[in-house]
């Protein structure tokens, strides 16, 4: 099902620490986020610094606790680390394999609702090639999962690519479809700036479930009766499907390995993406944290004061 191989490229981390502050999309709480360099084979790890957290939480399928409109982790004390998907997508788009993420608050700041602010942070911090080859997983047989709302599948392919489709009768979504190659950092500019969207008539019900409490036009593409309320309007005519693809990249990064395959998602969200990866690792008889099964990791010490950027 999966063949673990050494990639032809080397692992990368940040050159310097850097951070930002902003409001969480679902909690409405203000949080501070700092990205630090990390040693080879560390992967992406999170730590809640606001509550005396001493244990790193690896961004992997083991530690995912919620996929309701976002992907959330929890630390050993049960403290949430919510809405990691846009940051995970930005790290993947920028080719970052190893990063220690310090979060002072319950949720990653939403910033403008896209991955672009995180891409900007990474570009400002710079990246550093490390002395260890990347680990990759080559898919050998297709796998698919489906629900009443959609499906997603992985198909063996020589090169990585994504194909997503969203359907919604409400304007301006309609039917949107997009296919992109995902080699190196190719999709960064096509996807990073795409924002998540909400319809205003859904917000009351979402808030009753403890979600969308920080939503505004500053961090969300808001739609009311078919009209986009954001002053700048749409950034892309097909911004909704671009954002869905961005979410898929962030979720697939939870594998911890470069997956050589074609991803197809039709109406697929975080829960279905998680199920796809779990079923894949089950079929391959691999643990839900394959990177740790292959090599141990540690977090590098921070040598410089991070630059902090406000947003949200």
pLDDT in tens, 301-312: 333 445 555 555
224 against 149, higher pLDDT: 224
Is 0.85 topped by the overall pTM?
Answer: yes
DSSP 8-class letter at 194: P
Q: Which residue has the higher pLDDT, 51 or 218?
A: 218
pLDDT for 6 beyond 90:
no
Residue 312 DSSP label: -
Q: Quick check: 245 pLDDT over 50?
A: yes
pLDDT of 5 reads 87
| Residue ranges in 47-135 assigned as alpha helix (H) | 85-93, 116-125
Name the average pLDDT for the chain. Answer: 91
pLDDT at site 296: 44
CA distances from 226 to 10, 178, 199, 222 (A): 46, 22, 9, 10
Could you tell me if 226 and 280 are in contact, meaning their C-beta atoms sit under 8 angstroms apart?
A: no
Q: Model confidence over 251-299: pLDDT tens digits?
A: 999 999 999 999 999 999 999 999 999 999 999 888 888 766 555 443 3
Homologous superfamily of domain range 2-310: lpxc deacetylase, domain 1 (3.30.230.20)
Active site residues: 270
**Backbone angle region of 58, left / alpha / beta, with phi > 0 → left and psi within -120 to 50 → alpha:** beta
Give residue limits of the domains in the chain: 2-310
Q: What is the per-residue pLDDT for 292?
A: 60
């Amino acid at each position: 099902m999966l063949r673990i191989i050494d990639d032809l490229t080397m692992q990368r981390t940040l050159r310097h620490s850097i951070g930002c502050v902003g409001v969480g999309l679902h909690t409405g709480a203000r949080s501070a986020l700092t990205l630090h360099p990390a040693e080879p084979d560390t992967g992406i790890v999170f730590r809640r610094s606001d509550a005396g957290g001493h244990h790193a939480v690896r961004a992997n399928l083991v530690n995912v606790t919620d996929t309701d409109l976002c992907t959330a982790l929890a630390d050993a004390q049960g403290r949430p680390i919510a809405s990691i998907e846009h940051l995970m997508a930005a790290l993947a788009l920028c080719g970052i394999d190893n990063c220690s993420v310090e979060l002072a608050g319950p949720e990653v700041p939403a910033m403008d609702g896209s991955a672009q602010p995180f891409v900007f942070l990474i570009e400002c911090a710079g990246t550093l090639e490390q002395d260890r080859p990347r680990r990759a997983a080559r898919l050998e047989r297709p796998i698919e999962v489906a629900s009443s709302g959609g499906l997603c599948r992985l198909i063996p392919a020589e090169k990585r690519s994504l194909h997503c489709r969203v359907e919604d009768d409400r304007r301006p979504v309609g039917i949107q479809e997009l296919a992109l190659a995902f080699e190196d950092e190719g999709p960064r500019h096509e996807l990073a700036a795409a924002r998540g969207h909400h319809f205003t008539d859904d917000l009351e019900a979402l808030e009753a479930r403890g979600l969308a409490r920080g939503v505004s036009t500053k961090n969300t593409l808001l739609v009311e009766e078919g009209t986009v309320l954001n002053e700048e309007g749409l950034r892309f005519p097909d911004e909704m499907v671009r954002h869905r693809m961005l979410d898929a990249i962030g979720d697939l990064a939870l594998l911890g390995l470069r997956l050589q395959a074609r991803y197809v998602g039709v109406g697929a969200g975080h829960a279905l993406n998680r199920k796809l990866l779990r079923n894949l690792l089950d079929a391959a008889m691999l643990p839900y944290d394959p990177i740790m099964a292959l090599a141990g990791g540690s977090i590098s010490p921070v040598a410089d004061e991070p630059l902090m950027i406000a947003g949200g």
